[in-house]
């Protein structure tokens, strides 16, 4: 029992690292652009498929392939923002941007179906199937590497946001868009780059997701986006630290529930969200002001 519990906690923390990476991208996009990027889930799947194509056709190592897929996803993100998100204005911008990003999601999903078909695929590499004995547990290498990658990337994002001039302009835009504009921040540029970065990190998340999960197909984005949305709302929209905590916490809880009730474990996600919002409408780490918007 105790070993099962310990294993569940380890799995939860390792998986939580990957979700944290993807959730940070989502919450960053929300903070700067004030939109919910419904396409984030299918972007993860797109990232996974890009890694898949590189590894199958060019026999590129999965981690090495990230050097191509991450910049590629960044460019895709910037293009989507400039073409479809930036032109939206007016009082209905919130709902319009939801619909626009959803439309982008179903188009990408359709294209993925056309190119790769509906069958489930998995990413393969020597370290995906091998595992290491650590503290009496057999842990797949990919989970460890993936977690390490997530930690490195989240740390890099943190440094970018809190230690660079660009990061300061991003945070300024998150706090007050108009004021940021007044002090000379090019908010349009910040918005496009932030969307690009938020999407680019999903390439890394997608690779690990595709390698460590039980396979994926173009439809996998829906399950992902609903979990990611639950995580960022639970944490409080726009809270980066909160997204990290919520991801690790929820994934751990899910894998613990999974021991007894595998078919109900995902319900925990949504039920926790509903309960938290009953008590704290702004989320666990959200600013209360967010509610008055």
Partner 1 sequence: MSSATAGSAAQAGTAAAPLLPPGARSVNLTRTGVFVLLLAVSIVFPLAVTNQSANSIAFQTLIFVCAAAAWNIFSGYSGYIALGHAVFFGSGAYAAGIAAEHWHVTGGTEFVLLPLAAAVAALIAVPFGLIALRVRRHTFVVITIAIFFIFQLMAFNLNGVTNGTIGLNAPFLLWDPVTFDQRFYYIALGLALATIGLSWLIKGSRFGLQLRAIRDDEDRAASLGVRAMPVKLTAFVISGAITGLAGGLWFFFIGQVLPQSGFDPLFDLTVALMAFLGGLGTVSGPLLGALIIEPAQQYMTTAFSNSYLSQILLGALFLAVVLFVPRGLIPTITEKAGGWLERRRPAEQAGALAVAKGEKP
Where does this chain bind partner 1 (CB under 8 A)? Answer: 30, 36, 84, 87-88, 90, 92, 94-96, 98-100, 102-107, 109-111, 113-114, 222, 226, 229-230, 233, 237, 263-264, 266-267, 269-271, 273-274, 277-278, 281, 283, 291-293
Please say which residue, 145 or 216, places its beta carbon nearer to partner 1: 216
Q: Are 12 and 256 in contact (CB under 8 A)?
A: yes
- Shortest distance, CB of residue 85 to partner 1, whole angstroms? 10
Please say which residue, 146 or 238, places its beta carbon nearer to partner 1: 238
CA angle 32, 37, 43 (to 5 degrees): 120
- Shortest distance, CB of residue 128 to partner 1, whole angstroms? 28
Q: Are 150 and 208 in contact (CB under 8 A)?
A: yes
Please say which residue, 74 or 269, places its beta carbon nearer to partner 1: 269
- Shortest distance, CB of residue 104 to partner 1, whole angstroms? 7
Structure tokens given for 62: 């999965």
- Shortest distance, CB of residue 172 to partner 1, whole angstroms? 21
- Shortest distance, CB of residue 137 to partner 1, whole angstroms? 29
Please say which residue, 79 or 96, places its beta carbon nearer to partner 1: 96
Please say which residue, 40 or 55, places its beta carbon nearer to partner 1: 40
Please say which residue, 87 or 136, places its beta carbon nearer to partner 1: 87
Burial of residue 83 (number of CB atoms within 10 Å: 0-12, 13-18, 19+): exposed
How far apart are the C-alpha atoms of 234 and 27, rounded to whole Å? 11
- Shortest distance, CB of residue 118 to partner 1, whole angstroms? 9
- Shortest distance, CB of residue 257 to partner 1, whole angstroms? 13
Please say which residue, 137 or 264, places its beta carbon nearer to partner 1: 264
Question: 130: which residues sit within 8 A by CB, 6+ positions away?
Answer: 140, 141
- Residue 228's nearest CA partner among 34, 47, 27, 35 is 27
Sequence-separated contacts (24+) of 53-61 with Cβ below 8 Å: 55/123, 55/124, 55/125, 61/125
């Amino acid at each position: 029992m105790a070993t099962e519990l310990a294993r569940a906690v380890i799995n939860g923390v390792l998986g939580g690292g990957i979700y944290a990476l993807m959730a940070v991208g989502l919450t960053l996009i929300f903070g700067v652009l004030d939109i919910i990027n419904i396409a984030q889930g299918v972007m993860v799947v797109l990232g996974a498929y890009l890694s898949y194509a590189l590894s199958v056709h060019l026999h590129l190592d999965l981690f090495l392939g990230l050097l191509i897929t991450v910049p590629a996803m960044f460019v895709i993100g910037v293009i989507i923002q400039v073409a479809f998100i930036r032109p939206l204005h007016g009082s209905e911008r919130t709902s319009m941007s939801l619909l626009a990003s959803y439309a982008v999601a179903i188009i990408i999903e359709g294209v993925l179906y056309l190119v790769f078909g509906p069958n489930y695929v998995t990413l393969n590499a020597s370290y995906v199937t091998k595992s290491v004995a650590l503290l009496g547990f057999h842990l797949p290498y990919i989970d460890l590497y993936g977690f390490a990658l997530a930690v490195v990337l989240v740390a890099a994002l943190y440094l970018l946001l809190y230690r660079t001039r660009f990061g300061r302009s991003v945070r300024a835009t998150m706090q007050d868009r108009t004021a940021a504009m007044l002090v000379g921040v090019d908010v349009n540029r910040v918005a496009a780059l932030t969307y690009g970065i938020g999407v680019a990190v999903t390439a890394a998340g997608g690779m690990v997701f595709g390698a460590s999960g039980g396979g994926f197909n173009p439809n996998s984005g829906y399950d992902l986006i609903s979990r990611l949305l639950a995580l960022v709302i639970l944490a409080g929209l726009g809270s980066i630290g909160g997204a990290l905590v919520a991801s690790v916490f929820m994934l751990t809880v899910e894998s613990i529930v999974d021991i007894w009730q595998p078919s109900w474990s995902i319900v925990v996600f949504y039920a926790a969200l509903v309960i938290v919002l009953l008590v704290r409408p702004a989320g666990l780490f959200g600013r209360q002001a967010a509610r008055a918007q």
